[in-house]
A and B are shown apart, each in its own frame.
Chain A
Amino acid sequence: AIQLTQSPSSLSASVGDRVTITCRASQGISSALAWYQQKPGKAPNLLIYDASNLESGVPSRFSGSGSGTDFTLTISSLQPEDFATYYCQQFNSYPLTFGQGTRLEIK
Chain B
Amino acid sequence: EVQLVESGGGLVQPGGSLRLSCAASGFTFSSYWMHWVRQAPGKGLVWVSHINSDGSSISYADSVKGRFTISRDNAKNTLYLQMNSLRAEDTAVYYCTRAHPTLVVISYYWGQGTLVTVSS
Q: A residues engaging B (CB < 8 A)?
A: 1, 34, 36, 38, 43-44, 46, 49-50, 87, 89, 91, 94-101
Contacts and interface: CB of A to CB of B under 8 A. Distances in A.
Given A87-B44, A94-B50, 10 more contacts: A1-B62, A38-B45, A43-B112, A44-B45, A46-B106, A49-B100, A89-B47, A94-B59, A96-B105, A98-B46
Interface string B62-87: 10000000000000000000000000
B106 A43 contact: no
B53 interface: no
A98 B106 contact: no
A43 B107 CA distance: 11
A7 B54 CA distance: 38
Contact of B44 (A34, A49, A100): A100
A43 B47 contact: no
Contacts, number: 49
B110 A95 contact: no
A36 B108 CA distance: 10
A99 B44 contact: yes
- Determine the interface band of chain B, counting residues with CB < 8 A from chain A: 20 to 34
A4 B9 CA distance: 29
Contacts of A34: 103, 106
Contacts of B111: 43
B103 A50 contact: yes
Contacts of B60: 95
Contacts of B108: 46
A49 B106 contact: yes
Contacts of B29: none
Nearest to A97: B47
A99 B35 CA distance: 17
B88 interface: no
B2 interface: no
